[in-house]
Chain A
Amino acid sequence: MSLLAIDRVSKQFGGLAALSDVSFDVGAGEIVGLMGANGAGKTTLLALIAGNLRPNGGHISFDGARIDGLSPSAICHRGIGRTFQIVRPFAGLSVRENVAIAVMYGPGGERHRRRAEEKAQAILDAFGLGPRGDDLAGSLTLAGRKRLEVARVMGTGAKLLLLDEVMAGLTAAEVAETIELVRDLKVRHGMTILIIEHVMKALLRLSDRLVVMHHGRVVAIGDPHEVAGSAEVIEAYFGKGRA
């Protein structure tokens, strides 16, 4: 049973077709990797799912109900969370308050600030940010801020996590840690994950399936190792005549 269903979705910016007829499903508990060159439309697709943008055509369903056209906060309440390619923590607030806001305004909607902060601290502890709770979010390293964005989504109680290049700009050691983190999200927290990533090693190790996009279209879907070696993918990345 698919948790997220993307059905013939398209999006135009002026005359530019960023996405055309994109369709695929994400099953509950699955990690689906989204790959493609810059400009393929990966981040646009994520923004459509999270409600930051609205599609010009097609449907997006989550848990059996249409979500396209809903506001980002309404979509968050259905159980979808995202991180941002260029991180957007609440930089001037403490690390703990970043997550507490998610606990208070997510689908759980914890009304009491004190209890929300306790829950937030527990989430920070689970994600290795426990000792930084009182620090300003802006003072974290890039890896820390990316981790905080994941913790913030977990604070909302999301079922589906959309990760937009959480490994970009990280050191090799940090990438290894983040791969463990994402695997943990699936195995320990039962999350369903749609992940955009340029670090191939990470995608191959994490994904149950790969979706390859090129110029706003899906060109291949399937087993990561098969898809990554296919002619369409090599052509999408390196151009014709290389396969």
Chain B
Amino acid sequence: MNRTAILPLVLALLFAAGLLLPALTTGYWLGVALTFFMWVGLVQSWVILSGLTGYLSLGHAVFYGLGAYVMVLTWGQMPFELAILSAGLACVLLAVAIGVPCLRVRGPYFVILTFGVSELVKFIVVNIEAGLGRAGRLIFGAPLIETLYYWIVVLALVATALAFLVSNSRLGSGLRAIREDETAAETTGVPVTRLKVIAFALSAFVPGMVGAVMVLRTTYFETIHVFNPITSFTIVTIAIIGGSDDVRGPILGAAFLMILSETLLVNAPEVYMIILGALLILFVLLVPKGIAGGLSGLLARRRREGAP
């Protein structure tokens, strides 16, 4: 079978199974699947910027948080579908605004800057909410978990499709050129600044919408919670474990993390973070391209050895 046809087929099956799940089960497993697809949506989006350009964002929680904030601010004032879309667009605008100055610096400076900007926005919102005299906001009349679940699966699908299209497009080649050597890229005609900002904006769109949907799931908005930097760290962890130059990576990474957290958090919560940390170190040292990259390398080697 043609290798290029396998990937879209497997992806189609995965998302079809995801969409059929509510007909088969409710409660616990639906919650697990929702969290899985949430991470898929977040990490696929992150990969568009960080996987392709090598500009590591440690601040993607800012988009999740802003999306959630847009949702609570507009709750009851517009249809929630429209609010989800607005959250995504607000995050695209924020990405352009912070991308233009932040993407001028490279390497560790960019990493620290994205983290700093995320924290800055968090504390701006904290102060706005404090100024308004609010310690948190409750959402009444949120849609059913099934509805939210469908939204998250569709957002994961949108993010995966976006990552796939970008990765295989002219834009994707330009972004990889930036990752490999930015000076050589711009000398080869790649408009590096414009491409980086476009990638940043694309990578912010779905996370904003995911944040907007997820705040409806918790039905409670607390600034510190939705802008939690752990969200950013987890995105990076999944991308490192799964691999980030390929749409399979985030899916494999998210699946791995879900299996790990569901088995360990239930049975041995005290060692969960320790094991996760140890795994992260092992992956960085031994499988730097993640599960997806490691798998490709293994298959390529077997094909070479199998060939006469």
Binding site for B on A (CB under 8 A): 50-52, 71-73, 76-77, 81-82, 84, 88-93, 97, 100-102, 104-107, 111-113, 116, 152-153, 155-156
B contacts, CB < 8 Å to A: 168-170, 173-174, 176-177, 179-181, 183-192
In the complex, are the beta carbons of B189 and A107 less than 8 A apart?
yes
Contact of B173 with A97 in the complex, beta carbons under 8 Å:
yes
Q: A152, B188: Cβ atoms under 8 Å?
A: yes
Docked CA distance A120–B271 (Å): 52
Q: Contact at B191–A73, with CB atoms within 8 Å?
A: yes
30 contacts between A and B (CB under 8 A): A50-B187, A52-B183, A72-B183, A72-B187, A73-B186, A73-B187, A73-B192, A76-B188, A88-B183, A88-B184, A89-B184, A90-B176, A90-B177, A90-B180, A90-B181, A93-B177, A97-B173, A101-B185, A101-B188, A102-B188, A104-B173, A105-B170, A105-B177, A105-B189, A105-B191, A106-B188, A107-B189, A113-B169, A113-B170, A155-B188
Interface of B is mostly: helix
Given A97-B173, A113-B170: A105 and B188 interface contact (C-beta under 8 Å): yes
A84-B184, A101-B188 are known; give 11 further A-B pairs, CB within 8 A: A51-B187, A71-B186, A73-B192, A76-B186, A76-B188, A90-B180, A90-B181, A90-B185, A104-B174, A105-B174, A107-B189
Instruction: Return the chain A residue nearest B172 by Cβ.
Output: A113
Given contacts A113-B170, A113-B173, contact A106 B180 (CB under 8 A): no
Report A-chain residues with C-beta under 8 Å of the C-beta of B169.
113
Return B198 CB to nearest CB of chain A, in Å: 14
Partner of A102, one of B189, B191, B192: B189
Count A-B pairs with CB separation below 8 Å.
Answer: 81
**Least CB separation from A75: chain B residue:** B187
Q: Is the CB of A76 within 8 A of B184?
A: no
Q: Cβ of A156 and Cβ of B189 under 8 Å apart?
A: yes
Report the minimal beta-carbon distance from A85 to chain B, rounded to whole angstroms. 12
Give complex CA distance A155, B181 in Å.
17
Cβ of A82 to closest chain B Cβ, rounded Å: 6
Q: Assess the A90–B184 pair: CB atoms within 8 A.
A: yes
Contact of A82 (CB < 8 Å), options: B170, B180, B187, B191:
B187
Minimum CB–CB distance from A14 to chain B (whole Å) comes to: 21
Q: Which of A90, A116, A152 has the most chain B CB atoms closer than 10 A to its own CB?
A: A90
Q: Which residues of A contact B184 (CB under 8 A)?
A: 84, 88-90
Assembly CA distance A107 to B189 (angstroms): 8
Name the residue of chain B whose CB is nearest to the CB of A162: B187
Q: For A50, what are the chain B residues with a Cβ–Cβ distance below 8 Å?
A: 187
**Contact, CB under 8 Å: A52 / B188:** no
How distant is B20 from chain A, measured CB to nearest CB, in Å? 34
Which 7 pairs from chain A and chain B are nearest by CB? A90-B180, A76-B189, A105-B189, A88-B184, A72-B186, A105-B190, A106-B189
Residue of B nearest to A155 (CB): B188
For the complex, give the distance between the alpha carbons of A194 and B192 in Å: 26
Question: A76 — nearest CB in chain B belongs to which residue?
Answer: B189
Contact of B187 among A76, A93, A155 (CB under 8 A): A76
Contacts of A81 in B (CB 8 A): 187-188
Q: Which A residues lie within 8 Å of B191 (CB)?
A: 71, 73, 105
